[in-house]
Structure formats: structure tokens, C-alpha cells
Structure 1
Amino acid sequence: MDEHAHPSPVGIRRPSLVGIVNITADSFSDGNRFLSPTAALAHAHRLHSEGADVIELGPAASSPGAEKVTAAEEVRRLADVIDQLVADGIAVSVDSYRPATQRFAAARGATYLNDIQGFDDPARYEELADTGCRLVVMHSVQRHGPATKVRTDPTVVCRGIDEFLADRLAALEAAGIGRDRLVIDPGLGYFLGSSPEPSLRTLAGLERLKARFDVPVLVSPSRKSFLRTLTGSDVSGIGPATLAAELYAARSGADYIRTHDVAALRDALTVFEALESAKESGW
């Protein structure tokens, strides 16, 4: 399955849309709304019907101050939800850096494993190679669990993203994980620091990042702290800023966009493509 190739009539590659389902008590944007399997499944099916190519299940929050959740609790939260989605033929990604949770997800049919620590244990690479899952290798200034508030220099961050991804991709490939299974995520928001500048610089440099690594790129500006700081909006009012950042990412060639509001992004992309098509037709 190659979800990230959806050509428009004028050759623009529509990104795959990854719908976020937080099965958590304290996610910054929607904590406790989808903690029960019934609520999580209803939301996942709604996002899929709105155009999500992939449903990403997050069994623990990674925002600053989030509670620590054991692997056993992550598995408990995931079990009924992932089983039903896989049975329904829906591509599932699981967002967890815990090895036990990743093993569980792979065994239950997850298509993607998304690790905010970027798969930092080489001793597990042989095991990961055997899963067959696609791996979303995420960069973070903080690679030891939930994000913390740090201030960082944008130039240093961007250089660190390049160095980290180059080293990590080389190590994963050397362990026998095919490049066609790898997706990179430069990280945004608190994963890059508490000020907006590193995230803005990273998003603005997306085309360069794609050219540098020549693998699919996933980004997730949805409701992130850098947008809230930049606009002065709270989570409830951050939709327009999120959509602007997502459209910028799509125009810059993002292969996957991970979002809370699939319908809004789907419609915006449809209008964007229609306008591009009209422009190409010489109206």
C-alpha cells in the first residue's frame, strides 16, 4: 500500500491524511474524549469516512506534563480498538516509543509504528526488521519520553535534525530495514522547543528536507504549540492556523500530514487542487 501518492489532475501529489485518535486521559487537545474503546472506534471511523488514509492511535500523551503510562496500560487501551480497525481493513499507525507496545501493535496488524524517540535502541533493529511495519522515525530535541519546555536555537535545531535523521536512517538500513519502509518526521512544536522559530524554520525547509533524504516525510502541525504561540490562539481556536500550516506543508511536498481535523484538510486540498487545475487550463 502506498497511500502517499494521490496525484491531482495537475500532478500535485496529495498527501496521505493521518487521522489522530488519542486514547488518553490528558492529551493537550482532546484528552479523555476518546479514552473508551467505543468512543475511540466511533471517532476513528468518523475520521476514516472523512478521508483519513491512516488512523493513528496514541495510547499515551507526549505533551509537557503528561502522565507516564505503562506499556501494559497502553496495550490495554489499544487492544479492542486496533483489532476492530484492522478487521475493518483500515490502515493503523500506533504512536508509542515503548518496545512492548510496538511489539503488540505489530502482532495485531498495525501498518505503521510511530516512535517519538526515533527508534533509539539498535538492539531492537533486527526485531523491527522482522515486523514488516513501516517505521515513522521522528526527530525530537527531547528523545527521552514526553516533551518538555526548552528553548533552542533554530539553526542548531535544523542542523541537529539533519544529523539525527542521517545517522538513524543509516543505522536502520544497515540492520536490514529497507528504505522503502522508512518515513521521517522532523518534529514540530514542543518536540523542537518552546519558541515558534525552530518549528517555523523546519516547516519552511520541508522541500530541502525531502531532497536531502529522499524518503517520505510526515509532518504534524495540527494544534501544535508553535502555532498557538504565534497567533495567540488557544486550542479551541487554532483550527485556521493549523489549516494554513498544513496547506503549506502539502504545497511543499509532505507525503503524510497527521491531523486532528481530517475533513477540513480534505476540503481545503480539494479546493486548492481545483484552483490549480483551473490555472493550468488557462482560465
Structure 2
Amino acid sequence: MFQRPRIFGIVNITPDSFSDGGKYFAADAAIEHARNLASNGADVIDLGPASSNPDAVPVPPAEEIRRLGPVIEALAGDGIPLSVDSFHVETQAFALAHGAAYLNDIQGFAEPADYPALAATDARLVLMHSIQGRGNADRRSAPEGDILDHIGRFFEARLAALEQAGIARARVILDPGMGFFVGPRPETSFSILARLGELKERFGLPVFISVSRKSFLRAVTGRAPGEAGAATLAAELMAALNGADFIRTHEPAPLLDAFSVAACVEAGRSQGQ
């Protein structure tokens, strides 16, 4: 039976986002956009105070916190679960102190010194794999061999470290990475999308997918970021049908419609049996 994934709506509080060109860098614009995303079907708002694409400028924690502060304060009373997308421990601590329900870390919680603070909270942790290991995406090639084996070994090691620090396994959500986080060849990302069931079977944990407007979709369609809506929706629906539990997207409304159609098709299949 089709299970609707939870939708994370993306709010980039940055001047250098590849996908929306800094449209929501101003706090009032970010707040309005977050509320629009929630009204259009986002279950969680994912606040990103820094870009992670290969051409992005690094942002120190103090600046991330400055960008986040007024947005979190304004959204706190809305009852919308919030996620903060940052690998800086200072930013993560700020997010937790201000009620974030999720931490989304592209480095996969690489700082063991921060584990006691994480263990003391009940926030869910989006544990992302990347071939870079540290910092933003770049354009390096994927490692030799089966990418799913590489991802699996990373998750095994990081889950063991988190559990040893007292962080319950059930709090963790697995993100295999997409686009430049797994290499510049589109085939790598498509292979991961096709094999999500292997990750779920191996670890028994929910899977998080973020493909919205990414380079590998644009590479096969020839579309600019603002024109990649159809390709994004197709990839997101395939991720959902292959078992993704969480999908991070710029456009919740069409994705929610796609989920409704998929559920109806599944119901129709059951009626015919």
C-alpha cells in the first residue's frame, strides 16, 4: 500500500542559492514563503541559512544564527514543525534551543563532541551521506565500486557512533545524498533512487530524499533550475514509490497532488485483485 511521505518545504535564507537566487534572503520574505509552503502542504519547514552547492560561499555559525533568528522567532507560534539545515554545531545548538524538531546535517553529524548535546534532546536527526565527508558539495568523482555499498558503510559507522553516545537509533533518518553529494554523473543519483528499498531493508530506518531542482535532473532534461519542476516531480514521485519516507522539496503542492494520484492508483490496483 502506498504510504505518503512527509514533505519538507525548503526555505533558503541565503543570497547564493542555485535554485531560487536569494529570493528569500530577507527575513520577511523567508517568513512569508515558509507560511505559504505550509499552507500548500509542507509538513515541516526546512530552514537553510547557508547554501551547500559547489559554488557557495562558506558561512560562519554566527551569520547562520543571525539569518535564522528572526525567522524562527516569527514561525515559532505557527505550530509548524521546523528543521534547520546546518552542519555547524553552534547553529544546531541554537536551533535546538529554539524548538527545532529536526536537524538536517549534510556532514552526517561528524562532530563527536556534539553528541552529548544531541543525546539530551528528542529532535529527529537527518543523517546525510556525502562523498565529500566535510563541507559543501564539490565536483569530485564518485568512489569506485557500488555506491550503495559505500553509502551503507558510512551509515553503519555513523549509526554505531551515535548509538554509543546514547542517541536512540529510532531518532535517525537516513539521507543517501543526491547530485554532487554523490558525484557529478547523473547515473549515480538515479541508481540510488532506484535502489532505495535496499537501504530501507538493510537499516530498517526511514529514508529522506532531496532531489528538488538538482543538477542531475537538469543534466538529463537540459532545463534551468526554475524550469526543472516537471523533472523534480517525476523524481520525487519515483522516490516515494520506491519507499522514501521524507521528501524535501521547493514545491509541496504538486507533490501532494502526485501523492493523491498514486494513492488512488494503488487503491484501484487492490480493487482489481
TM-score tier, shorter chain, comes to over 0.9
**Is contact 2:20–2:226 with CA below 8 Å preserved after alignment?**
no
Counterpart in 1 of 2:50?
60
Aligned residue for 1:126, secondary structure, equals helix
Q: Which residue, out of 128, 145, 164, partners 2:154?
A: 164
**Is contact 1:189–1:224 with CA below 8 Å preserved after alignment?**
yes
Counterpart in 2 of 1:72?
62
| Structure 1 runs not aligned, ≥5 long | 1-10
**Aligned AA for 1:155?**
G
Q: Distance in 1 between matches of 2:188 and 2:46?
A: 25
Counterpart in 2 of 1:227?
217
Q: Distance in 1 between matches of 2:77 and 2:140?
A: 41
**Is contact 2:103–2:126 with CA below 8 Å preserved after alignment?**
yes
The CA RMSD over aligned residues, in Å, is 1.3
What is the CA-CA distance between 1:277 and the residue it aligns to?
Answer: 1.6
Q: Distance in 2 between matches of 1:153 and 1:232?
A: 26
1:81-119: CA deviation from partner (whole Å, max 9, x where unpaired):
112222211100000000110000000000000110000
Aligned residue for 1:131, secondary structure, equals coil
**Is contact 1:141–1:157 with CA below 8 Å preserved after alignment?**
no
What is the CA-CA distance between 1:278 and the residue it aligns to?
Answer: 2.5
**Is contact 2:14–2:24 with CA below 8 Å preserved after alignment?**
yes
Q: Which residue, out of 10, 26, 35, partners 1:36?
A: 26
1:185-209: CA deviation from partner (whole Å, max 9, x where unpaired):
0000010111112111111110011
Q: Distance in 2 between matches of 1:201 and 1:193?
A: 12
TM-score, length-normalised on structure 2?
Answer: 0.97
Aligned residue for 2:35, secondary structure, equals helix
Q: Which residue, out of 76, 89, 108, partners 2:98?
A: 108
Counterpart in 2 of 1:7?
none
| Structure 2 runs not aligned, ≥5 long | none
Counterpart in 2 of 1:195?
185
Cα 1:202–1:154 change in 2 (3 A) is farther
What is the CA-CA distance between 1:275 and the residue it aligns to?
Answer: 2.2
Report whether the alignment pairs 1:139 with 2:129.
yes
What is the CA-CA distance between 1:158 and the residue it aligns to?
Answer: 2.3
Report whether the alignment pairs 1:48 with 2:42.
no
What is the CA-CA distance between 1:154 and the residue it aligns to?
Answer: 6.7
Counterpart in 1 of 2:233?
243
Counterpart in 1 of 2:208?
218
- Percent of aligned pairs with the same amino acid: 53
Q: Distance in 2 between matches of 1:112 and 1:177?
A: 14
**Is contact 2:5–2:240 with CA below 8 Å preserved after alignment?**
yes
**Aligned AA for 2:148?**
C
**Aligned AA for 2:53?**
S
Q: Distance in 2 between matches of 1:156 and 1:272?
A: 30
TM-score, length-normalised on structure 1?
Answer: 0.93
**Is contact 1:56–1:94 with CA below 8 Å preserved after alignment?**
yes
Q: Which residue, out of 121, 126, 148, partners 2:138?
A: 148
Q: Distance in 2 between matches of 1:159 and 1:180?
A: 22
Counterpart in 2 of 1:122?
112
Q: Distance in 1 between matches of 2:265 and 2:147?
A: 35
What is the CA-CA distance between 1:153 and the residue it aligns to?
Answer: 4.8
**Is contact 2:131–2:143 with CA below 8 Å preserved after alignment?**
no
Report whether the alignment pairs 1:268 with 2:245.
no
What is the CA-CA distance between 1:280 and the residue it aligns to?
Answer: 2.1
**Is contact 2:6–2:245 with CA below 8 Å preserved after alignment?**
yes
Report whether the alignment pairs 1:83 with 2:100.
no
Deviates more, 1:29-38 or 1:152-161: 152-161
Counterpart in 2 of 1:206?
196
**Aligned AA for 2:154?**
F
Q: Distance in 2 between matches of 1:123 and 1:156?
A: 31
**Aligned AA for 2:20?**
D
